Amino acid sequence: MLEKKSDELPPLKPNTAEVDTKKQVSPEQRRWLMLGLALSGGAAVFVTLGALLAVSLSSRPLQQGSASPHLPNSPENLTDILSATLTHPVNLLILGIDNDDNFDRPRLSTKATSTEALSSNTNTMLLVRFLPNTRQINVLSIPRDTLVRLPGVGVAKIDSANWRGGVKFAANVVSRQLGNVPIDRYIRLSRNGFINLVDALGGIEVTVPKRMDYIDETQHLNIHFLPGRQKLNGKHMEEYVRFRHDKLGDIGRVQRQQEVLKAIQRTLLQPETIAKLPQILKVAQDNIDTDLSLEEMLAVAHATLTNDREQNNFLMLPGRYSRRDEYPKSYWIENTQAASKILARYFDVKSNSQKPEVAKEASPSQLRVAVSNATGQPRVGERAIAILRKQGFTNVHLTDHDINLSADAISKTHIIAQHGNPEDANAVQKSLGLGQVQVSAIGDIWSDVTIVIGADFP
């Protein structure tokens, strides 16, 4: 169990973002570095923009096409020019700011300064841990409706922390909520920064899982999407990730945000992104706030470029929706017992327990397994369920949960460890005889493991 949280916020723990900065970077190498950063992505896409900002401010602006005669054929070819590397794990708090979503104060004008635009509620809150020794990145999504208790305020939603006390206050709130996890640095990205990034990349392709319709004049939202594979521009992508008017509410939005991060990664890794680098630099300059130093940004960029993307883990703070008889507003109430396991395993947070719990495979009869048929072929899900029940998985059911996977991804069967439990997903994979295991929070939230049946299912 996590320790009981007091009303007093502890100070942030000392910074641990140490880097090895023995190498020096020439202006030419800096231009190559900007290219490498633009091609990197995934969970650290906002970190990439922050690094772009720092490098662009410390070297000559990159002129479009200036490096084109010597472009590398993969991001890995750039790692030898980076000037710094992480010496040990680092935790980074990433806040996506939504200046339209704060109803406790007047809406900001369209000409608001960057400081004002970064001083509102958070639409996205991610804790990212870089593990240089294993080339792994762990990402924890914190739902914006998570219930916290703030000094002088009482019960509140965690998304208001940045507005109420600024980014350092928000970091303290997150640290306390997550068992006093150390937070080394932060990055804030404005709402316009996200929109402009998507536009600078020429749009992002996603697979919309269902029809989406929602109008809210107070938030300037007019959302209308048909299901299917499509490329969205910045405005439409922002609407897509803000949509939460379905049965899952904010949790569905968190799941879409995780898949959009992966879609941005795929786009950043395309060769045609090189020509768009000047626009991406402009986005970084105008919309990023961070306390990372230049050397630290270079180190994070190096970790992003060299990480093993197959090992990256996308998690969500486990919990439940509040009941109407508990609170007048809707909150996401953290399941501290489940959260402590995730935090211990993926963020090295020590619990009050004297003996750390060793992750082990649950018995098949204990697992809640959801099956989603993405093939469009009838009876495929039922056949998968029959196979699993013969192997002792008695708690298996078909789900109509919206699984946000790309059109390319559903060519294969995916086995999703919903709560950071790959041992259970591996057991399902072994029984099914196929499937690609991933640690992600995009499956059926009430399951332990979600199977998305793809075209490879016999």
Domain of residue 447, CATH code: 3.30.70.2390
* Sole residue written with tokens 């507003």: 329
Q: Examine the domain organization and report whether 266 and 317 are in the same domain.
A: yes
Query: Is residue 9 domain-resident?
Result: no
pLDDT at 298 (0 to 100): 74
Integer Cα distance of 208 and 406 in angstroms: 9
Query: Is residue 445 domain-resident?
Result: yes
Number of folded domains that form the chain: 2
Q: Examine the domain organization and report whether 304 and 155 are in the same domain.
A: yes
What's the CATH code of the domain at 336?
3.40.630.190
Q: Examine the domain organization and report whether 341 and 408 are in the same domain.
A: no
Where in the sequence is the domain holding 194, given as residue range(s)?
85-347
φ and ψ of 184, to 5 deg: -85, -45
First to last CA, the chain: 43
Query: Is residue 359 domain-resident?
Result: no
pLDDT at 9 (0 to 100): 62
Query: Is residue 90 domain-resident?
Result: yes
Q: Of the candidates 347, 377, 408, which is a domain's last residue?
A: 347
Contacts made by residues 71-76, CB under 8 angstroms, sequence distance 24+: 71/35, 71/271, 71/274, 72/32, 72/35, 72/36, 75/36, 75/39, 75/40, 75/269, 75/305, 76/305, 76/306
DSSP letter assigned to residue 337: H
Q: Examine the domain organization and report whether 289 and 413 are in the same domain.
A: no
- The better pLDDT of the pair 97, 417 is held by 417
DSSP letter assigned to residue 12: P
For the beta carbon of residue 199, count every other beta carbon within 10 angstroms. Answer: 17
Integer Cα distance of 254 and 259 in angstroms: 9
Tell me the HSE value of 394 on the side-chain side, using a 13 A CA sphere. Answer: 5
In this model, does residue 94 exceed pLDDT 50?
Answer: yes
Residue 328 is encoded by which pair of tokens?
Answer: 């007048």
Please say whether the beta carbons of 268 and 240 come within 8 A.
no
Q: How confident is the model at residue 303 (pLDDT cuts 50, 70, 90)?
A: confident
115-150 pLDDT, tens digit per residue, is: 666 878 888 899 999 998 888 899 999 999 999 999
Q: Examine the domain organization and report whether 156 and 281 are in the same domain.
A: yes
Return the axis-axis angle of helices 277-287 and 45-58, rounded to nearest 10°: 90
In this model, does residue 255 exceed pLDDT 60?
Answer: yes
Q: Examine the domain organization and report whether 113 and 157 are in the same domain.
A: yes
412-440 pLDDT, tens digit per residue, is: 999 999 999 999 999 999 999 999 999 99
Mean pLDDT in the chain? 78
12-68 pLDDT, tens digit per residue, is: 554 455 555 444 545 444 444 444 444 333 334 444 444 444 444 443 332 222 333
Q: Examine the domain organization and report whether 89 and 172 are in the same domain.
A: yes
Mean pLDDT on 438-450? 93
Query: Is residue 38 domain-resident?
Result: no
Q: Which of 275, 273, 420 is nearest to 359 (CA)?
A: 420
Q: Examine the domain organization and report whether 340 and 448 are in the same domain.
A: no
Query: Is residue 352 domain-resident?
Result: no
Query: Is residue 14 domain-resident?
Result: no
For the beta carbon of residue 185, count every other beta carbon within 10 angstroms. Answer: 23
